Amino acid sequence: MIGFRFSKFKPGPEQRSPFDRLLNLFLQLLTYTAGDANEALQWMNELDREHGLTDNEYSMGDFVEDLKRKGYLRDDTNGGLVMTPKAEQSIRKSALEEVFGKLRRSAPGRHSTRFTGIGEEPTGDLREYRFGDTADQISMTESIRNAQINHGLLDFHLMEDDLEVSEREHQSQTSTVLMIDISHSMILYGEDRITPAKKVAMALAELIRIRFPKDTLDVIVFGDDAWPISVKDLPYLQVGPYHTNTPAGLELAMDLLRRRKNPNKQIFMITDGKPSCMRVGDRLYKNSFGLDRRIVNKCLTLASNCKRLRIPITTFMVAEDPYLRSFIHEFSEANGGKAFYTSLKGLGQFVLEDFERNRVRRR
């Protein structure tokens, strides 16, 4: 008898509803249009005319109505459509599946370390009770057994010396600052580098929210200056006519991390270019050619300061310029951090791999 073989059910395209098939494409377009729902729908209509995305049973008008009915879009005061918070979260989840899909299923879901302490995963080892141990760490079975042996069944007492504690793997927290370059070079020469950077940022934010809720993530963008943005604003992020003020981004990242009590801190920087400006007093010192020694030295000084504060910087370069590689090598050496020179397609995997390693650091 051959029997039956069971496997995980994976619905094919024909088994998904028309709405679900169109929703994934719509979420992708929202990322490219920086959250402009009306422009994304225009692209949907154009693709529908060219490739027949819909049919007589389910039209693009039905899709738009379903988006509104299910809470992805709402009418604005100008007569157009805007995204809702549900749509913003769906974009982050979609980015998480796309960028970290292959690695997400094997993620441990916590910061495992080589230390014992407060955590959820028991090691199997027992020890005596110590002042400061919490009640949920006490192994009641072993403690009651010790009380019976030490005091007998007729005169049962549970004393402090009877208590045994179940050891657990220590689980640490990590504070991360993600720096995103929004200078003009991120879309220069017709190459879109900002969209993959946004996808990585949204995926990282969603990964932390789902798997590591006790961690902190601050997102900052840097162009002529640097400023923090909220996670919900990531889909709307756009490149501006800016130079690359890397020193301002590093100074803001360090300032944010100083406020965190957590000893485990790190900076991720996604950029495609060389630093080309810095703040000098009240004015902006610029050099559009980049790698100005004055600006470079400022970046190296900040990298060294981060090293003294035990803040590693991991740089992800989405460009293949040998001069840039030389600068990043010098920058990473000054900080003692890491640098990856990767294509846009592989950016997400590198972020997750290095994030998983850095997170287990413990002072």
pLDDT band at 97 (very low <50, low <70, confident <90, very high): confident
Contacts of 296 (CB under 8 A, 6+ apart): 275, 327, 330
The CATH architecture one would assign to domain 175-358 is: 3-Layer(aba) Sandwich (3.40)
Structure tokens at 319: 């460009």
**pLDDT for res 317:** 82
**pLDDT for res 274:** 83
Residue with tokens 């060389």: 274
Q: pLDDT exceeding 90 applies to what percent of the chain? A: 38
**pLDDT top residue among 125 and 54:** 54
Contact 268, 258 (CB under 8 A): no
Beta bridge partners of 122: 168
Q: Is the pLDDT of residue 115 over 60?
A: no
pLDDT band at 357 (very low <50, low <70, confident <90, very high): low
42-53 average pLDDT score: 91
**pLDDT for res 177:** 94
Q: Is the pLDDT of residue 285 over 60?
A: yes
